[in-house]
Structure 1
Amino acid sequence: MNATILVADDDRSIRLVVSQALAQRGHAVRAASDARTLWQWVDAGEGDLVVTDVLMPDGNGLDLVPRIKERRPDLPIIVMSAQNTILTAIRANERGAFEYLPKPFDLDVLVAAVDRALTQTQPEAPPPGNGAEEALPIVGRSPAMQEVFRVIGRLVNTDMTALINGESGTGKELVARALHDFGRRKDRPFVAVNMAAIPRELIESELFGHEKGAFTGAIARGVGKFELAQGGTLFLDEIGDMPMEAQTRLLRVLQTGEFTSVGGRTAQKADVRIIAATHRDLRQLIVQGRFREDLFYRLNVVPIHLPALRERRGDIADLARHFLTKAALDGLASKTLSTAAIEELQRYDWPGNVRELENLMRRIAVLYSEAVIDARMVAESVAAGATGRDGKGGGRHADETLSQSVDRHLRAYFAAHQGRLPAHGLYDRILQEIERPLLNICLEATRGNQIKAAELLGLNRNTLRKKLRELDIRARRPGTAE
């Protein structure tokens, strides 16, 4: 349908491109640079849809949304903002905006949102929040995280079940917390339970409680997580590790809204919102017969995918500063990041994701006295976190490729030895550092047999002997003395 669209943004270039894009769709566009003019148009009954920025010279577009909804409840509003935080997304939804678009956005996305707003019935706006400036629970300006924020903004004031998927350390519990803390159940309990941390035989009792005498050792009635979370939110972390028997009982709760304790006979109402999370591929577990397909569809009402940190490198600097600020609030020394340090952080692949970055920032805040963090400190701390203080390999980097591992160690080596590198011969020196452990491992694998070791390496036997002499490596059989 052709409509009259009111656009408000103090940036002339944005007004121009938005107006042109909408005009090409056949809409009439009126554009203003301030909130006062927009309100005059709305108050006069003009326009079929509003597209407004948040920050304008004479007011805040978010504050204008409830006034517009009160004056003209059926007028859809699309909010766009460069303040692309989770709170902006949540508040746009709370105040009745039809859609929230973080800047910069693709014009096709805006046009699609306009089409939806003009053809769909708007849902009833949820009650407004208290307006308090809560601390940001999740940090990220990347497009992937903006999509997460938009989903959270739409979900906070519903009781819809959500399934959060992402690698370990990406912040799945933070998302679950945000859905609870900014939602209608925020004054009730948030109860988290990790399926992977509970013995299989105790999971049903842990979730649903048990009656006295229900099993050996049940000397008193036990209260389960469903009962503890009544009125609030139950977060089921690592749901992929839940045994099949417990999956069947959880499915029944989701179907009926009631649960029965182990050994009990009377059903209790389950007044809880369920949020589940996993780092596993549940569809693959279904194929393997380890996860119920019907439970998956009950949980996966609204899927939320959290990207790995290596997929949102643009957020690393903001996250690192955020964690340094948290460390300072906890009593550690206040520190800032140099440009070189940020570049070093962005080169690393972060197999432990956001959790690893937070641990690294805290480690640097404790171990270094300097006020400005440089690349050397980052590289040394990354290497220390990877290998452990005892020099043993850490499980945190178990999924690294050989190339990634070598890259990480070389960067740490260069950062630690800047100014003390040899004047020449660095290439041969580094190759020797890699060759030595490789030759030793191959000799151990072949029990000191140089012929087999040469075959394993794809080298001529004489070439292997020459390298062993150059590196002063003695081929010996296991069990013999040095």
Structure 2
Amino acid sequence: MTRLTTRSATAKTLSFSNIDAKANQVLNEMAWFFGESDVMQKLRREVVACSQKRAPVVLSGENGVGKAILARLIHTLSNTGGRFITFDTASVAPSQLEVELAHAMQNTARDGQAGTLHLIGIEYLPKVLQQRLMQHYRTSCAEASPIAPPARLLCSARQPLNELVEQGLFPEKLYQDSASMCLEVPTLSAHSEDIAMIAEHIVKQYAGDRQVRLSKEALAVLKAHTWSSNLRELAGVIRSAVLTSPRHILGAEDFEPLLQKSSGNADTSSMSLPEAAETCLGRYFDGLRGMAPAPELFSRVMSEVEKPLIENVLRYVRGNQLRAAEVLGINRNTLRKKIRDLGIDAKKVGKS
């Protein structure tokens, strides 16, 4: 999604006494994001409170709810200076995680100020590294850790920490220590009354010099839709409507075909890998309607998955086979053999 800017001319202005005038101005420019619902106003107060502390913060919520927007806002309100660096754990080979993480931390410093590290996917970090990282930040003992921390650590997770603990993806003791610093970001459906304000802001971002607005019928359609990918999906749909329709007043007819397409695309986009696999396999067995499944089903499923898996990894690493082998966790020669046997054009896929 194209980055949304913050300025909003229609939102209600509020002032917080525990932050300065400049921070209050930034916060009010983000009023479109928080809307007027009780659940989002509560989140707004929590964000302000967290921004005034140096303790690590964990932002949890589904894909597309705006965790990255909030992380950057907390950094800005903290007034700690330095760089805001994003580190996505899912984009780094497991063997390189600690080295790359240390490098990202060092890059947050600028002009004598330590900056902020936004760590996406803390659940994908090995537990040992999770503990070392979080405990180090909580105690501020830089000398006791091989990793030099920035002034702020902001973490994002797809699920609440208590659920990650139950799944064995986050240490229970660490959760107990971190529970007071967790902010759960609501889904868009949990504050659907804010959709009109959010939608109007997004329209302005993409309309440019055009005077574009939404009809009552268009707003009704947007409010009634189930946003599987939350704010990200809403922004994508509105962007497409604004850029493709010549009208100055967008109606329901401008959104209905886009929403049908978006629903199909979002069906698995907000799911974890196991959830997506379960959904696709469920559809396969539902489609059998009493008929026998394909013979040697295990081998067939594995072979069906192998080629698109390797192609997607190659695309993700832009054709770098050494990096692809690290991501897949296999030997480079093994990967080369699979590429040859499966008839994959590695150069073409890497450039796509």
TM-score range for the pair, normalised by the shorter chain length? 0.5 to 0.7
- Residue 172 of structure 1 corresponds to which residue in structure 2? 67
- Residue 253 of structure 1 corresponds to which residue in structure 2? 136
Shift of 1:445: 3.4
1:46-195 correspondence runs (5 A): 88=14, 91-94=15-18, 128-130=20-22, 133-134=25-26, 135-136=29-30, 138-185=33-80, 187-195=81-89
Shift of 1:179: 1.0
| Matched residue SS, 2:118 | strand
Residues 191 and 353 (structure 1), Cα distance of their counterparts in 2 relative to 1, 3 Å cut: same
| Matched residue SS, 1:192 | strand
1:103-135 CA-partner distances (Å, limit 9, x unpaired)? xxxxxxxxxxxxxxxxxxxxxxx6x33378443
User: How far apart, in 1, do the equivalents of 2:115 and 2:263 lie?
Assistant: 39
CA RMSD of aligned residues (A): 3.1
Shift of 1:345: 0.6
User: How far apart, in 2, do the equivalents of 1:339 and 1:168 lie?
Assistant: 28
- Residue 383 of structure 1 corresponds to which residue in structure 2? 260
User: How far apart, in 2, do the equivalents of 1:289 and 1:376 lie?
Assistant: 46
Given that residues 84 and 115 in structure 2 are in contact (C-alpha distance below 8 angstroms), is that contact kept between their aligned partners in structure 1?
yes
- Residue 93 of structure 2 corresponds to which residue in structure 1? 199
1:282-297 correspondence runs (5 A): 282-297=161-176
1:206-248 CA-partner distances (Å, limit 9, x unpaired)? 112xxxxxxxxxxxxxxx1221224111111221121223223
Task: Verify: 1:363 aligned to 2:230, yes or no.
Answer: no
| Matched residue SS, 2:169 | coil
Which of 210, 219, 240 lines up with 1:342 in the alignment? 219
Residues 207 and 309 (structure 1), Cα distance of their counterparts in 2 relative to 1, 3 Å cut: same
Given that residues 166 and 278 in structure 1 are in contact (C-alpha distance below 8 angstroms), is that contact kept between their aligned partners in structure 2?
yes
Given that residues 203 and 246 in structure 1 are in contact (C-alpha distance below 8 angstroms), is that contact kept between their aligned partners in structure 2?
no
User: How far apart, in 2, do the equivalents of 1:206 and 1:315 lie?
Assistant: 39
1:208-223 correspondence runs (5 A): 208=102
Instruction: Identify unmatched segments of 5+ residues in structure 1.
Output: 1-82, 95-125, 209-223, 400-436, 448-482
- Residue 56 of structure 1 corresponds to which residue in structure 2? none
User: How far apart, in 2, do the equivalents of 1:171 and 1:356 lie?
Assistant: 11
User: How far apart, in 1, do the equivalents of 2:196 and 2:155 lie?
Assistant: 29
TM-score normalised to structure 1 length = 0.50
Q: What amino acid is aligned across from residue 179 of structure 1 in structure 2?
A: I
**Larger C-alpha radius of gyration, 1 or 2?**
1
Q: What amino acid is aligned across from residue 445 of structure 1 in structure 2?
A: M
Task: Verify: 1:237 aligned to 2:103, yes or no.
Answer: no
Given that residues 258 and 269 in structure 1 are in contact (C-alpha distance below 8 angstroms), is that contact kept between their aligned partners in structure 2?
no
Shift of 1:303: 2.0
Task: Verify: 1:395 aligned to 2:268, yes or no.
Answer: yes
Residues 93 and 304 (structure 1), Cα distance of their counterparts in 2 relative to 1, 3 Å cut: farther
Given that residues 37 and 191 in structure 2 are in contact (C-alpha distance below 8 angstroms), is that contact kept between their aligned partners in structure 1?
yes
Instruction: Identify unmatched segments of 5+ residues in structure 2.
Output: 1-9, 273-282, 294-352
Given that residues 139 and 318 in structure 1 are in contact (C-alpha distance below 8 angstroms), is that contact kept between their aligned partners in structure 2?
no
TM-score normalised to structure 2 length = 0.66
Count the aligned residue pairs. 266
Q: Which has the higher helix share?
A: 2
| Matched residue SS, 1:178 | helix
Q: Which has the higher contact order (CA 8 A, sep 6+)?
A: 2
